[in-house]
Amino acid sequence: MLHEILLSLSGHPSPLLRKPASPEADALAGITPPERQLLSSAGHISDLHTKLIAYSSEIAASHSSTICRAVATAISSVHLAAFQRKVLEVEESILKDDPELVGAYNIVPLTAVMGEFQQWTRRLEWLWDTVRFMMAPNQDGTACKGATLVDRLRDELQSGYQDVAATAESLVKVAETAWLKQVSAWVLYGRLPSFGADDFFVQKMPVPPEDYAILADCLPSFVTGATASSMLFIGKSLNHVRAMNTNSTSTGIAQVPAKLKELSALKVPLESADFAKAIKTIRIFLSQNTLQKMLPLAKVSEMMQLLRDFFLLGRGEFAMALTHEADEKIRNRWRRAGNLAYEKDQGLKNITVKDGEVAAVLNRTWSVLVSMQGQHAEEDDQLDLARSLIQLHLTKSRPPAALVTGKGLDVDAANLLAASPFRNMLFSVPAMLSLDLPSPLDMVISASDLQLYSCINAYLLSLRRANIRLTDLWKITSLRRHFPSPRGTSDHAVTIRERWSDRAWLLRSSWTTASAAIFFLGETEAYFQTEIVEGLWDGFHNWLLPQKRPLHRSTSGHATPLHMHTKAPLTPIDNTPPPSSSSSSSHDPQTLSTAHTLYLRTLTHRLLLTQPSFTQPLYTLLSHIDHLVTHLHRLHSLFTSIDLDHDAGVVDAFVDLQREQSQVFTSLRGVERRVKDGIENVVDALRALETDPKFLADWDGQGLVDEEDGEERAYVPGRIGGVDRLLMKLDFGSWIGSKRGLGADGRGGGP
């Protein structure tokens, strides 16, 4: 019987320790109840050992995760082998008549034998739970992830049982060593694991252009977000170096021993701080010895300056020329389609814009800018670079890249930006500026960053376009007054004076509404451009090139009315002191990329682009302003035709000019009311944001700055602007206060 028990504990099935199929087949019929209890414990241990042998071998042979395979192999080769040795030791002690197990008359108490295995019961049960955890699929039906197993094993280190903690620690070392080998292949050579790539935290995107992304559920919890970003950047950089086939390739291979030394010095279980320090050292080492030769800081600065000037409207003449050329294209299509008035429509009918026409608009814009250069030859290089890289196209022909969510840009904000309606303003169909970013600049400026630039550009350009179109109305002199004014007392002169007096009276409310809209747009755009865009750019540019502190450049002088021409400060708005010369070393590309993304996402928040309560009424207001401008242009055309009819006898028998003029005036009154209501709705939205605690927390930068970033000179956006500053400007000199109780007398000054 004793021999049978030891064989069963070794993993061989025995009827002595099994539950009988029937009472007649009970092998324990002559055994006392206390002995049955001891044999039941032996059967439990034997059953655990048998299942562990079978299932650990299955996991080690067929599991999709390399880490799970390594842990299963360790369970079999280390812990089950140790249990097997324990069985042999007990058997050897019995055969040698060890007095601890063998009593008088060579009697071996069953209690003493099972006491030798009592300490293994909890350990085998814990190992069986671990094996079942590896076999169980996730909620989505996929196999157990290696990172999930590592997190579970690390949690078990705090179980409180010494034997379980020791077992968990040995398995943690095996699991983290297997994971560290995968990490080594990525950070040393830029290669994904040849086996178990689906279980690795870096995945290659299936759609072009080829890129890599981080899967959070495949990342162990001890790896911080900043460390994961650094590992992703290191591997992507190595792939860039290999793809460019430069001399840096051999240099990078020669540097492998130095980087491998950092990883081999780590001790398992891995400490988060030590691992992050090793990855940071590898990243800086790679940057200083390879990447800075391939991607100098001057090249990065040049591209960011280009994005600032053309996408964020730093060069106002670009926005002005692009708006003018786009309007000319649409106006020509209106004439051919015979659809000059919106009337009750919210968009154009029968107007189709093609990609070729959109591209032609940008080409004519470049031609206008070149003709405006004159003697300013120093800007030719940037303009030539912009002409070769910037494109204007319809979004249906080239869908925009997906926005990468994370700190400062959650899923809701990304979806809101992806569905931004401001792309419709330029051509009445979705169109956007894009940039063909040359390699290796895409290591610093990602496709998601360029998509954010396009969203911000469409937003700012819509405000600039509405302002330009409204101010251009004052250039239509014949719509405002008759010049030269007819003199004399003849019937013809009197008729003309009465006609223009009536028109001036009828158009008075239209000019008042247009003036109010110009005031609103001018103050809003001046706030966005001079305080937000220029202020954040100054702070970021000073961080990027700390030894060069550029003077503030006005961004509104080329395309805004006179009341927007404020005196520009000669020092950056951000009052952060300049860094010392000892800290002015060049940033590595990963630090540049992180800082640029933070700058861009902060800019998106400060421009209120992630606040649908503001952007939706603003878009509605801009649409109504478009309608107002279109109706006034149509009215001017009707006035000209009526004057030809009355004064020169030029009659169009197919058009009832008086009836059409009456219809346009009726529509114009409705548009005026919608513009005024639209301005009030936007201001109300600003007041609501001013008291919204969640918005104020985002404005202060909570959730934007990565607290895990340990860089000595990490970029921190300046605390500039404020919705209250914009509201203060809008409340002054507008009629809005009359309905909101701003003044003591309930009256507001008209523009």
CB 238 within 8 A of CB 205: no
For 528, residues 6+ apart whose C-beta sits below 8 A from its C-beta are 460, 463, 607
CB 554 within 8 A of CB 517: no
Quick one: pLDDT at residue 308? 95
Q: Phi first, then psi: what are they for 394, rounded to 5°?
A: -80, 145
CB 629 within 8 A of CB 331: no
Query: Which residues does residue 213 pair with via DSSP β-bridges, in sequence order?
Result: 203
Q: How far is CA 66 from CA 73, 145, 195, 416, 688, in A?
A: 10, 9, 7, 40, 53
Which pLDDT band, with edges at 50, 70 and 90, does 226 fall under? confident
Q: Phi first, then psi: what are they for 409, rounded to 5°?
A: -150, 90
Quick one: pLDDT at residue 586? 66
How buried is 268 (Cβ within 10 angstroms: 0-12 exposed, 13-18 middle, 19+ buried)? Answer: middle
Query: Residue 190: in which H helix or E strand, if any?
Result: none
Quick one: pLDDT at residue 292? 79
Quick one: pLDDT at residue 548? 47
Quick one: pLDDT at residue 367? 92
| Section 501-528 average pLDDT | 91
Of 318, 321, 341, 319, nearest to 331 (Cα)? 341
| Section 356-368 average pLDDT | 92
Of 13, 7, 11, 5, nearest to 38 (Cα)? 5
- The top-scoring range by mean pLDDT among 277-291, 484-498, 558-572, 591-605 is 591-605
Residue 104: is its pLDDT beyond 80?
no
Residues 376-404: tens digit of each pLDDT: 555 568 899 999 999 999 988 777 777 88
Task: Say how far apart CA 305 and CA 438 lie, in whole Å.
Answer: 15
SS3 call for 439: coil
HSE-up of residue 204 (Cα within 13 Å, Cβ side): 13
Q: CB count, 10 Å around CB of 643?
A: 16
Residue 623: is its pLDDT beyond 90?
yes
Task: Say how far apart CA 81 and CA 749 lie, in whole Å.
Answer: 90
Task: Say how far apart CA 261 and CA 709 lie, in whole Å.
Answer: 24
Least confident of 54-68, 437-451, 676-690: 437-451
Residues 697-743: tens digit of each pLDDT: 776 655 555 544 445 568 889 888 889 889 988 876 555 544 544 33
Task: Say how far apart CA 322 and CA 366 lie, in whole Å.
Answer: 9
| Section 518-523 average pLDDT | 94
Which pLDDT band, with edges at 50, 70 and 90, does 14 fall under? low
Of 736, 609, 617, 737, nearest to 685 (Cα)? 617
CA distance from start to end of the chain: 106
CB 405 within 8 A of CB 304: no
Which pLDDT band, with edges at 50, 70 and 90, does 750 fall under? very low
Task: Say how far apart CA 527 and CA 538 lie, in whole Å.
Answer: 15
Q: How is 259-309 classified by DSSP, letter by letter? A: HHHHHHT--SSPPHHHHHHHHHHHHHHHIIIIIHHHS-HHHHHHHHHHHHH
Task: Say how far apart CA 593 and CA 237 lie, in whole Å.
Answer: 12
User: Which two three-digit tokens encode residue 552?
Assistant: 């503030």
Quick one: pLDDT at residue 745? 39
Query: Which residues does residue 406 pair with via DSSP β-bridges, in sequence order?
Result: 409
SS3 call for 467: helix
Of 215, 48, 167, 173, nearest to 117 (Cα)? 48
Which pLDDT band, with edges at 50, 70 and 90, does 237 fall under? confident
User: Which two three-digit tokens encode residue 154?
Assistant: 């690390």
CB 559 within 8 A of CB 679: no
Query: Which residues does residue 202 pair with via DSSP β-bridges, in sequence order?
Result: 214
Query: Which pairing describes strands 212-214 and 431-435: parallel, antiparallel, or unpaired?
Result: unpaired
Quick one: pLDDT at residue 339? 46
How buried is 133 (Cβ within 10 angstroms: 0-12 exposed, 13-18 middle, 19+ buried)? Answer: middle
The rounded mean pLDDT for the chain is 80
Quick one: pLDDT at residue 124? 92
Task: Say how far apart CA 626 and CA 622 lie, in whole Å.
Answer: 6
Query: Residue 242: in which H helix or E strand, if any?
Result: helix 225-244
Q: How far is CA 179 from CA 121, 147, 184, 547, in A?
A: 30, 8, 9, 43
| Section 269-273 average pLDDT | 92
Task: Say how far apart CA 251 and CA 149 lie, in whole Å.
Answer: 37
| Comparison of pLDDT for 94 and 356, the residue scoring more | 356
Quick one: pLDDT at residue 558? 39
Residues 415-448: tens digit of each pLDDT: 889 888 999 999 888 999 999 998 889 889 988 8
Least confident of 82-91, 572-581, 711-720: 572-581
User: Which two three-digit tokens encode residue 705?
Assistant: 């700055």
**Of all residues in the chain, what percent carry a pLDDT higher than 70?**
77
| Section 88-107 average pLDDT | 75
Quick one: pLDDT at residue 648? 64
Q: How far is CA 154 from CA 65, 121, 148, 393, 411, in A?
A: 18, 21, 10, 52, 31
Residues 24-41: tens digit of each pLDDT: 445 555 566 666 676 777
**Model pTM score:** 0.79
User: Which two three-digit tokens encode residue 565?
Assistant: 């021409």
**C-alpha gyration radius of the chain:** 38
Of 18, 9, 32, 11, nearest to 118 (Cα)? 9
Quick one: pLDDT at residue 634? 87
CB 53 within 8 A of CB 112: no
Query: Residue 431: in which H helix or E strand, if any?
Result: strand 431-435
Q: Phi first, then psi: what are they for 443, rounded to 5°?
A: -75, -25
Query: Residue 710: in which H helix or E strand, if any?
Result: none
Residue 20 falls in which region: left (phi positive, over 0), alpha (psi -120 to 50) or beta? beta
Residues 287-329: tens digit of each pLDDT: 887 887 888 889 999 999 999 999 999 999 999 999 999 988 8
